[in-house]
């Protein structure tokens, strides 16, 4: 119990995320607000297949 605060935290398994959570939410909000098809997503949200 006394050693737990002194131990280093482990790294998350897997590769790091490509996009931030903010970018994902902004892209979804834009898509639902505008109502456009996925192919018309602006380039700032990357290519449409990755969206």
Total tally of structural domains belonging to the chain: 1
pLDDT of residue 49 exceeding 70, the answer is no
Name the more confident of 8 and 50. 8
The per-residue pLDDT for 7 is: 76
The per-residue pLDDT for range 11-35, each reduced to its tens digit, is 777 888 888 888 888 878 877 888 7
33 found inside a domain: yes
* Residue 36 placed within a domain: yes
Residue 9 lies in a domain: no
Q: What is the DSSP letter of 50?
A: T
Q: Please report whether residue 12 resides in a domain.
A: no
Q: Do 20 and 27 form a contact (C-beta atoms < 8 A)?
A: no
Residue 51 lies in a domain: yes
Of the pLDDT bands very low, low, confident and very high (cuts 50, 70, 90), residue 39 is confident
Reported as a pLDDT band with limits 50, 70 and 90, residue 9 is confident
Range(s) of the domain holding residue 50 = 17-51
CA-based Rg of the chain, rounded to a whole angstrom?
18
């Amino acid at each position: 119990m006394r050693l737990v605060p002194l131990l280093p935290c482990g790294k998350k398994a897997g590769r790091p995320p490509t996009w931030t959570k903010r970018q994902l939410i902004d892209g979804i909000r834009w898509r639902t607000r505008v109502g456009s098809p996925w192919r018309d997503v602006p380039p700032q949200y990357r290519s449409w297949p990755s969206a």
